[in-house]
Amino acid sequence: MKILVTGGLGYIGSHTAIELINKGFNVTIIDSLVNSNIKVLDNIENITGKRVEFHKIDLRSKDELYSIFQKNIFSGVVHFAALKSVSESVNNPKLYYDNNVGSTENLLDIISSRKEKINLIFSSSCTVYGQAKKLPINESSPVLNQESPYGETKKICEEIIQNQTIKSENLNAISLRYFNPIGAHESSLIGELPNGIPDNLVPYITQTAIGKRKELTIFGNDYPTRDGTCIRDYIHIKDLAEAHVAAIEYLLKIKKQNFYDFFNVGTGKGLTVLELVKMFEKINNIKLNYRIGDRRNGDIISAYANTKKVNKTIGWHAKNEISNALKTAWKWELKLHSLDDN
């Protein structure tokens, strides 16, 4: 069974491609390499023993994308391809609408021109909930107006995908609203490759630990939480990757048409920034240089998932320890560092 993975050389896409291959799916990857490296393709092969078909295509190029659908019959599409920096999206909203929404529109147009039934999984984000009034956040929590163009693109893409499933005979779809993925593959052959100075906490922690950054700034310790720092639902990248396989398998079994649903993907447990930092220090036996700084603009105080819907409906559960994700993230940073030295 053929599955197209857009953005499949990126962080979450590459881990998901591995889990799909391990489950026996025949994976084709499309990526523009705007935020990934072609070497990831070799490392997917090193891990799985399978060379996946790869096309360097920007999804905004509809003709090139169309030609891939003409040459293949895909049962599923896992659509990761997008730009993901909240700060960049604030500075360059047009780029984010063009790239993230434009790509999704092209993909949907092409799917609607096809006869075969296609099951689509879309990478959404818990960012669509903003600061939810009720915690843990369940799927009935309202989708708010977004503070960043990035968040807005996720909201719009969810809407246009849902609209297309309503009117199309060949598309069923699921949006997965990820909480905070962290960690790397246990082999240390693939992981997150942040561009420049990382925005996200864990790459910032590992880059500080390796000496690439002087110190980690914890953005605020005066929030109304148990230790004053923000709370997030960190999820092991392997668990998140497996959620995509479970979602595809679920869609493949569905007989009805016009199916659309959305699910939270998290662990259900919130950790504060300080708790995560201390866990990193303990599991890796490292002292981290950090200081408390000002709050970061736009940060929500607390977000963690109610995962009952995904657990019950799709049968997926997070299994891997967050401490293990922090171990693999550190091993991955060490690996990147050893490659820098050579």
Cβ-contact 143, 128 below 8 angstroms: yes
Residue 80: name its binding partner from ligand UFG, ligand NAD, none (Cβ under 5 to 8 Å by kind): ligand NAD
B/e letters for 53-92, b = 16+ CB within 10 Å, e = fewer, are ebbebbbeeeeebeebbeeeebbbbbbbbbbbbbebbeee
Is 141 one of the binding residues for ligand UFG (CB under 6 A)? no
Q: Which does 15 bind (CB under 5 to 8 A by kind): ligand UFG, ligand NAD, none?
A: none
Helix (H, G, I), strand (E, B) or coil at 239: helix
Q: Which tokens sit at 160?
A: 């246009």
Name the residue among 31, 22, 77 with its Cα closest to residue 54: 31
Question: Pattern of binders to ligand NAD over 112-141, x per CB under 6 A?
Answer: -----------x-x----------------
Which of 136, 191 has the CB closer to ligand NAD?
191
Q: How far apart are CA 324 and CA 202, in angstroms?
A: 13
218 sits near ligand UFG (criterion: CB under 6 A) = yes
Strands (E), the chain: 2-6, 26-31, 53-56, 76-79, 118-125, 171-178, 180-182, 216-219, 231-232, 234-236, 260-265, 271-272, 290-293, 302-303
The reply to whether omega before 136 is within 30° of 0 (cis) is yes
Give 12's Cβ-side CA count (13 Å radius): 29
Among residues 41, 161, 216, 246, the one that binds ligand UFG under rule CB under 6 A = 216
Q: How many CB atoms lie within 10 A of CB 288?
A: 15
Residue in this structure with the two tokens 């561009």, named with its chain if needed: 195
Q: Distance between alpha carbon 67 and the CA centroid of its chain, in Å?
A: 26
Which of 84, 236, 238, 331 binds ligand UFG (CB under 6 A)? It is: 84
CB 84 within 8 A of CB 10: no
First-to-last C-alpha distance (Å) of the chain: 40
Residue 178 among the catalytic residues: no
Residue with smaller CB distance to ligand NAD, 117 or 205: 205
Site for ligand NAD in 149-188 (CB under 6 A): 178, 180-181
Which residue is nearest to ligand UFG, using beta carbons? 230
Among 125, 172, 175, 188, binds ligand UFG (CB under 6 A): 125
- Report the residue from 3, 4, 5, 13 that binds ligand NAD according to the rule CB under 6 A: 13
Contact between 273 and ligand UFG by CB under 6 A: the answer reads: yes
Shortest reach from residue 103's CB to ligand NAD, in Å: 4
Q: Which of 11, 96, 129, 150 is catalytic?
A: 150
- How many residues make contact with ligand NAD (CB under 6 A)? 28
For ligand NAD, which stretch binds (CB under 6 A), given 79-87, 209-217, 321-329, 331-339? 79-87
Residue 58 interacts with ligand NAD (CB under 6 A): yes or no: yes
- Please give the single-letter amino acid code of residue 302: S
Name residues whose C-beta falls within 8 Å of residue 312's C-beta, 6 or more positions apart in sequence. none
Beta strands at 171-178 and 118-125: parallel, antiparallel or unpaired: parallel
Query: Considering the complex, what minimum distance in angstroms separates the CB of residue 58 from ligand UFG?
Result: 21
Q: x/- site string to ligand UFG, residues 229 to 268, per CB under 6 A?
A: -x-x------------------------------------
Q: Which is nearer to ligand UFG, 57 or 240 (CB)?
A: 240
What residues act catalytically?
150
Question: What is the contact surface with ligand NAD in residues (CB under 6 A)?
Answer: 7, 9-13, 30-36, 58-60, 80-84, 99, 103, 123, 125, 178, 180-181
Q: Which residues in this chain contact ligand UFG in the complex, by CB under 6 A?
A: 84, 86, 125-127, 178-180, 199-201, 204, 216-219, 230, 232, 273, 296, 299
